Structure formats: structure tokens, C-alpha cells
A and B are shown apart, each in its own frame.
Chain A
């Protein structure tokens, strides 16, 4: 769109009135939501909106479309419409249910453990001490290294049964990745995400009102009392945000599983992203993996509805204009 005349974005009605020479004592009318002026005001938003709609929504619609077809890439000419059969098959598939359970377990455990560790680290950091900046920099670094690098690093140097550091420290010759595959993946994911939780909680701790804390101290409140009655309630907004954003990323975990366990042994550490990947890129079963994708989207939407509400509250987004 090419703006031919200068527009003042918040006062379109008035602006139009001025240019058409009808400005005067008449009451200003608010431009309708779908009027030409409203669209003109939206012009700066349009490239981002259209791009996002095309790149994110078209593939999802195609996923839905594919999910009603029997289509295997290695059998040319096999493609035909099968209605809901893919969905019936997916729900009857015990591996799919196992992957779903693993996804929930992985997400819940990792997010909560990372949050608790992050809370602990943030509290250690929330004071003045020698080398505070260095310690903070060290602690955020696991979040900054490539997740792929982190996964390979843990697989080799930490979990290796013969040369791994874990067995060196704790003794024995445990093959962590085959004996405790899901827990091993969790350890790596927690390690990766704890810094993120720590940063958000630390921001919350530093936003605390010093006066309130001092007043509570003067009133004779003990450490524990201050922590539970003042700090935690004030932190809850930050922790909710940390849990929500962390969950969005952890639920999609793929790198760690792909690189550390390949979903195994068997399907012990297969989560939904990895299972769908397997069905699509190793089984070449477009129809079934699409159906799984649709189911995952529907489940996510249920959770996301609540999440969106929380986000709007957290960000203070309310009406149309500010």
C-alpha cells in the first residue's frame, strides 16, 4: 500500500475531515473497524500478519488435508482418500499413547525441576558478592550452547558407561542411556533450561520492593516467613510465565532425543515430536503422521487457550487501544 497523503494514525476520522475540508464543529466520528481508514492504519501490520498467516497456517491446513489420506511416499500411486481411518489407527496405536505419556512426563518433570533449580540459583545470585557477574555468566551459558552440542556432550562425556564422568564420580558401570533413557534425556533438558528459569526468577526477585522487605524485617518476620508471605507471591507471576514459556519449548523437545537415544531403547524415550518424525521420515507415512500432528495440535489448543488468557493478563493486554 502506498500512503498518498500523510496519515495521523490515532485520529483517522479527524484527519480525513481536515483534508476534505469538512473540519468544523461537527462531532468526530470513529472510523469503523472495516472502513478504508481502518485498513490504512493497519497497513504497517499487514506484512507481518500476512507472512505469518501464510507460512504458519497453510502447512497446518495441509496437515489436516493429508490426515484424511492414505499416502506413503515409498509407494507411488498409493495416495487416496480414507476419511477418518488414520485417526482410528493412531488412537489404536499403543506406541502413540506411549509417546504421548512420555511427552507429558518429560514436559512436566523438566519444567518443574528446572524451575526449582532456577529458583535456588536465582536466590543464590540475588545478593552482592565477589564475582557475581562471572557466576551469572557461567550459569546462563548452558542455555546458550547449541542444544545439539549439549545433547552430544552429555551423551559422550557424562553418560558413557566406560569413560563417562557420571560413572567415574558415582562408581559402577551403569549404561545410563539404555537403563534410564528418559531420565537421562530429562537431565540434559533440565540442564539446558534451568538458566532460562533462573533468569526469569532473578528478574522477579530484583523487582521486589526493598521497603516492603525491610518493613517485614523490622516487624520481626523471619527469613522463611518473608520468603513464603512476600517473595513467593510476588514471584508467582514470573514463575507462571517461566513455566508457560518453558513448556512451549520443552514440549517440542527433539534435539536431545534424536541425538542421545534415538527414542530408544525400543520406544522408551520416544516423545510425540520424535514419533511423528519417525513415522514421517523413516516410515514415510504421510497420512498417519499428519493425523498425529492434528491430534497434537488439538491437544495443544486446549492447553493454549488457558495459556493465552494467562499471557494477556501477564502482559496487561486488554482492550483495543491503550
Chain B
């Protein structure tokens, strides 16, 4: 604990222990990174091989398997749905915090309740609707669903940022006769911009990693990177090195986003409850 000094030796031992635990914990990941640079023959050996000649062959193989269209779909769905979320969540959370409209509590409760409903219970109608609208295996179906999936989270999270805007600033704007768009764009948004960025990053992470909708509503045309990875289970462990490369490439964008945003991660994941 930070308040207690302890002996220098004890502290070093604890630090070493912490490092050991951390490395053990992420070992599966480290191993994945290592495997992605192996030849297939080096990937599954008994005992596991630590020393090998690294190669980029697997990454090339992943690209040859048609990874890029999936990456493109993921990027499109993620970006468009995140923009849509922000467009709707900013005014909504303004109304639920600074303007505090009648029924704020009911609206917040409703948004939250949609996060608690199991998504499996909606998949059948969603499939039928998508089929009727000719949206099966179409990226727009995912755009709509991911927007709905992240919107409640974004509203709650942004609300907690909006509540921190000094009341005096908003009042001053109102006295000067600013209308709602002016108030939002000139007074409120500059203050909450970091919060909006954090919210966007969380939406990006959740959209990029979503699996259930993507697997059930898309195939070759609109598949996202998680769907690409599913292609590997049919070849049952035969391409471990290539699978590792694919898993790494597919995860890298959100990993980087998450590393950059780690200070905002807590607040986003707790829907703004924790600073």
C-alpha cells in the first residue's frame, strides 16, 4: 500500500513479484505475438519452441486470405456508428444533465435497461427484419445495431462529463441570449471535448470487438474482423501461426486505441460512474 514505506528489500521483492504476475497473466498474448512470427512447422512442436527464425510470411498469408475487405468493413461500421452515436448522444446527454428535462430519471432508466436485456432475445426478429429489408450481409445492418448498442452507454458516460461543466458558464451563455446550438457548440462542447473523445474511443472498442450480431447477420460481403477469425476454426488448428498473425492484426487497432485511452477507459467502462 502506498502509504507504507516497508524495507527497500521488501519493496523490490514486491515489485519483482508484480512483474512476474503481470508477465504470467499476459503470457498467452505474448505467446501469440511470438507465434505470429513463426513458420507453421515451428508453431506446433512438442515441447514448444522458443528459439526460431522469425518470418513475416504469416502476415502476408493473412492478407492473401482476403483480410483487407473485413478490415474495411470493421473500419466502416465502427466509424459510421460511432459518429451516429455522438450525433445523438451529445444533445441527449445535454438534455439529461445541464438542461435536466422532465422525466430525466425515466429516460436514463430506459437507456440503461436496454443494456441489461440479453441480445439473444432479439436476434431472431433482427434476422427476419434484415432479410425482409434485404440487409442481410450488409454493413448498414451492423451500423444501425452498433449505434443502438453503444448509444445508452454514450448517453450515460457523456452525462457525467456534462454534469461537470460549471453551471455559471451555461447561465452566462443563456443570459447573453444564446440558443441551444450556440450554447452547445460555443460553451458546452469545448469543455467536454475530452469526454466526448473518451466516449468515442469506448464506442470504437465495443463496435470493433462485437461478435454476436456480426456472426449471425453477416457473411462474406459485410463480415467484420471477428467474422474473419471464425474462418480459422474450420481448419482446426492447422494454421496456428497464421491464426496468431490474424488475431494480432485484428486486435491491433483497438489495442492501440485502448493503450492511448487507458486513463479514460475506467470512466467509459463504468458508464461514467467512476472518475
> Considering the complex, which residues of chain B in the window 13-60 have a beta carbon less than 8 Å from any beta carbon of chain A?
14-15, 17-19, 21-23, 25-29, 31-32, 35, 44-48
Q: With A9-B180, A146-B209 given, is the CB distance from A258 to B215 under 8 Å?
A: yes
Q: Give a binary string over B132-165; 1 marks a CB under 8 Å from any A CB, 0 the rest.
A: 0000000000001101100110011000100100
> Considering the complex, which residues of chain B in the window 198-252 have a beta carbon less than 8 Å from any beta carbon of chain A?
205, 208-209, 211-212, 215-216, 225-226, 229-230, 232-233, 237, 240, 243-244, 246-248, 250-251
Q: Which of B46, B91, B257, B265 contacts A45 (CB 8 A)?
A: B91
A121 within 8 A of B: yes
**Closest A residue by C-beta to B48:** A168
Please name 8 pairs of A and B residues whose Cβ atoms are closer than 8 Å in the assembled complex, sorted by A: A7-B180, A129-B15, A129-B18, A144-B257, A191-B28, A210-B2, A259-B230, A276-B120
Among A83-91, A149-157, A178-186, the one that faces the other chain is A149-157
Q: Which of B91, B233, B237 contacts A47 (CB 8 A)?
A: B91
Q: Which chain A residues have a beta carbon within 8 Å of chain B's beta carbons?
A: 3, 6-11, 33, 38, 41-45, 47-49, 51-53, 55-56, 58-60, 62-63, 66, 121, 123-131, 135-150, 152-158, 160, 162-163, 165, 168, 191, 194, 196, 199-200, 202-204, 207, 210, 213-214, 217, 223, 226, 238, 241, 245, 248, 251-252, 254-255, 258-259, 272-273, 276-277, 280-281, 286, 289-290, 293-294, 296-297, 300, 303-304, 307-308, 311-312, 314-315, 317-322
Residue numbers in A under 8 Å from B108 (CB-CB): 312, 317
Q: Give a binary string over B110-142; 1 marks a CB under 8 Å from any A CB, 0 the rest.
A: 111111111111111111110000000000000
CB distance from B192 to the nearest CB of A (A): 14
> Other than the known A49-B107, A252-B212, what 8 A-B pairs have Cβ atoms closer than 8 Å?
A6-B177, A10-B174, A43-B95, A45-B91, A148-B209, A152-B232, A226-B1, A259-B229
Q: How far is the CA of A135 from the CA of B25 in the complex (A)?
A: 11
Q: How far is the CA of A153 from the CA of B122 in the complex (A)?
A: 29
Residue numbers in B under 8 Å from A223 (CB-CB): 1, 4
Q: Which of A135, A153, A203, A307 contacts B274 (CB 8 A)?
A: A203
Do residues A41 and B102 form an inter-chain contact, with CB atoms below 8 A? yes
Q: Which of B103, B151, B254, B262 contacts A146 (CB 8 A)?
A: B254
Q: How far is the CA of A137 from the CA of B22 in the complex (A)?
A: 10
Residue numbers in B under 8 Å from A9 (CB-CB): 95, 98-99, 101, 174, 180
Residue numbers in B under 8 Å from A6 (CB-CB): 177-180
Residue numbers in B under 8 Å from A56 (CB-CB): 114, 117, 122, 148
**Closest A residue by C-beta to B44:** A163
Do residues B233 and A259 form an inter-chain contact, with CB atoms below 8 A? yes
Do residues B100 and A10 form an inter-chain contact, with CB atoms below 8 A? yes
Do residues B152 and A52 form an inter-chain contact, with CB atoms below 8 A? yes
Do residues B117 and A154 form an inter-chain contact, with CB atoms below 8 A? no
Residue numbers in A under 8 Å from B44 (CB-CB): 160, 162-163
Do residues B45 and A163 form an inter-chain contact, with CB atoms below 8 A? yes
Q: B interface, by DSSP: helix, strand, loop or mixed?
A: helix
Do residues A51 and B104 form an inter-chain contact, with CB atoms below 8 A? no
Q: Which of A8, A121, A130, A259 contacts B25 (CB 8 A)?
A: A121
Q: How far is the CA of A308 from the CA of B212 in the complex (A)?
A: 25
Q: How far is the CA of A199 from the CA of B216 in the complex (A)?
A: 31
B77 within 8 A of A: no
B67 within 8 A of A: no
Q: Which of B23, B88, B120, B121 contacts A138 (CB 8 A)?
A: B23
Q: With A144-B258, A297-B117 given, is the CB distance from A196 to B269 under 8 Å?
A: yes
Residue numbers in A under 8 Å from B273 (CB-CB): 241, 311, 314-315
CB distance from B180 to the nearest CB of A (A): 6
Q: Which chain B residues have a beta carbon within 8 Å of chain A's beta carbons?
A: 1-4, 11, 14-15, 17-19, 21-23, 25-29, 31-32, 35, 44-48, 87-89, 91-92, 94-105, 107-129, 144-145, 147-148, 151-152, 155-156, 160, 163, 174, 177-180, 205, 208-209, 211-212, 215-216, 225-226, 229-230, 232-233, 237, 240, 243-244, 246-248, 250-251, 254-255, 257-259, 262, 265-266, 269-275
Q: With A254-B211, A320-B105 given, is the CB distance from A149 to B251 under 8 Å?
A: yes
Q: Which of B1, B29, B35, B147 contacts A126 (CB 8 A)?
A: B1
Do residues B92 and A252 form an inter-chain contact, with CB atoms below 8 A? no
Residue numbers in B under 8 Å from A318 (CB-CB): 105
CB distance from A186 to the nearest CB of B (A): 15
Residue numbers in A under 8 Å from B125 (CB-CB): 58-60, 62-63, 66, 290
Do residues A156 and B243 form an inter-chain contact, with CB atoms below 8 A? yes
Q: How far is the CA of A272 from the CA of B45 in the complex (A)?
A: 37
**Closest A residue by C-beta to B255:** A144
CB distance from A205 to the nearest CB of B (A): 9
Q: How far is the CA of A123 from the CA of B14 in the complex (A)?
A: 11
Do residues A124 and B14 form an inter-chain contact, with CB atoms below 8 A? yes
CB distance from A20 to the nearest CB of B (A): 17
Q: How far is the CA of A155 from the CA of B112 in the complex (A)?
A: 34
Q: How far is the CA of A62 from the CA of B163 in the complex (A)?
A: 37
